[in-house]
Structure 1
Amino acid sequence: MDVDKGYLYKFQRFSAWSGFLVMAVVGVCFFMLSKVQPPIDPEWSGQQVKDWIVDNRSGILWTTVICSFVIPLEYFFVVTTSWQMRRIERGWGVLTMTQVLTGVVAPIGFFYPMFILSAAAYRAAGRSPEILQLMTDLFYFAYVGFAFIFCLQCVVIGIAVLIDRRTEPIFPRWFAYLNFTLAVVLAPGAFIYVFTSGPLAWNGLFAFWLPCLAYLVWKVATPLLLLKAVKSEEAETADEAVPVLV
């Protein structure tokens, strides 16, 4: 007896939307609640950093609480993206598995930096400015600089899109170039460790603002394309299930 796969497609649709939900919630928390975005000036003194952390203590801690509940949904998004890439490679190929492994790291890129900043904020009033400045450096090094790892993820997704030779491709070809563009835009994040000012500092145009904008476009486009891909998969399954009359 055939298994009803209807629930699988429903779950994939939920997973596609979960990626957008994570971006929306994290964006609100980071920009409005904890105010870690836009990033602070890397050249701030220790006292300026301490004052900023003390002023935003509640927002930082509550951001971590909220993210603890929301960010795990990113795994659904990652798996569904990988599943649709699997259709292109017709199995768990190199590109699909690389997407899985790099995608698994994605939630850590949000979680781990916030743990560091929360540890700083937890007892901020009683800590020295120098220690808080060090922990804030660690936060931005991990949060902004960590984005470089997603260059590989974007590249493998883009390659997968281009090698799809279906009559009706799972993803449109322009999605490949969007991924390649995001990979290029994310690359300057690797230079924040040697600059404290200018476009390559952690608050700079090339290290933060352009990647932030490109990621926003990608995180809106990808769920919509995943929904379309799930629809095409469902249609293919329905066609295969139709009995052939001889």
Structure 2
Amino acid sequence: MDEKLKFRFYRLSVWCGAAVAVANTLAFSVIGKLTPPVAPTDSAATVTQFMTDNRTGILWAVVLMGVVVPLFYPFAVITSLQMRRIEGGWGLLSMIQLTTAVVAPTGWLYPLAVLATAAYRPERDPELIRLLSDQFWLTYVGVAVIFVVNVASIGIAALIDRGPEPVFPRWFGWLNLVLAVLFLPGVFVYVVTDGPFAWNGTYAMYIPTVAFVIWKVSMIVVLLRAVKTEERQTLGLSTAVPAV
């Protein structure tokens, strides 16, 4: 492959991650009106009414995510390719990042398919609709714990890089370790129905959501910088890369 074309693909892969983030925001907050979420303590009648009132938006939100979420794969791959530069080839950290990242699209789409099932037939028994709603929120919020390992692997890679021109800046390594910890509380949604650790709570929903936005934006900025640096080194360009 032509080297210049390769780096165009690399940059496009980074922007694929941005497309997923934008689609996720539109699907949940605008089209599906899933923000804020229903509460675990809501009655079956309340949940069913929400599903009925927002049926069209929820179904189209799932369609949007179904189209866009697969773009997370190139974003995951370009992240591991940059980590591979740190390890001098495919290594433990780059493979951990890749294998945990490929779960993300399934972790989004499968719960969304369950939500679509709940909204698809509003005439169902309200208890069945609430059951499907519970499965969606427990799965969607609970599986975020996978990102703890994913984000931590990126942070460790950034901190152990001893190259003359590090792939990722050191602040980015510490940021990822902090964000990894902030993703952890989501796993506790399985044992509580109210409070900050419930799926609509501060620790399980809102802090990880903010952490994800910070992570995604910083990842895009740092990956674009890393790709530009690699391109300069590979093609022998003299253009200086501004520090991030």
Question: Structure 1-normalised TM-score?
Answer: 0.94
Aligned to 1:200: 197
**8 Å contact from structure 1 (residues 189, 202) kept in 2:** yes
**8 Å contact from structure 1 (residues 13, 227) kept in 2:** yes
**8 Å contact from structure 2 (residues 159, 174) kept in 1:** no
**Alpha-carbon shift at residue 67 of structure 1 (Å):** 1.2
Identify which of 37, 52, 57 aligns with 1:54. Answer: 52
Report SS of the residue matched to 1:144.
helix
Aligned to 1:147: 144
Residues 68-113 of structure 1: per-residue CA shift (max 9 Å, x gap)? 1111111010000010000000111011111110010011121011
Aligned to 2:187: 190
Matched, 1:103 2:112: no
Larger radius of gyration: 1
**8 Å contact from structure 1 (residues 16, 224) kept in 2:** no
Q: Which amino acid aligns with 1:176?
A: G
Take 2:36 and 2:82, find their aligned partners in 1: how far apart are those partners?
34
Q: Which amino acid aligns with 1:89?
A: E
Take 1:4 and 1:62, find their aligned partners in 2: how far apart are those partners?
39
**8 Å contact from structure 1 (residues 15, 80) kept in 2:** yes
Of stretches 175-184 and 46-55 in structure 1, the one that deviates more from structure 2 is 175-184
What are the equivalent positions in structure 2 for 1:1-246 lying under 5 Å apart? 4-124=2-122, 126-239=123-236
Residues 171-194 of structure 1: per-residue CA shift (max 9 Å, x gap)? 111111111111111111110111
RMSD over equivalenced CA pairs, Å: 1.1
Residues 133-173 of structure 1: per-residue CA shift (max 9 Å, x gap)? 11000000110111001100011111111111012111111
Name the % identity: 48
Report SS of the residue matched to 1:167.
coil
Runs of 4+ in 1 over 4 A off after TM superposition: none
Any stretches of 5+ residues in structure 2 without a counterpart?
238-244
Take 2:148 and 2:196, find their aligned partners in 1: how far apart are those partners?
19
Take 1:85 and 1:193, find their aligned partners in 2: how far apart are those partners?
33
Total equivalences in the alignment: 237
Take 1:155 and 1:224, find their aligned partners in 2: how far apart are those partners?
18
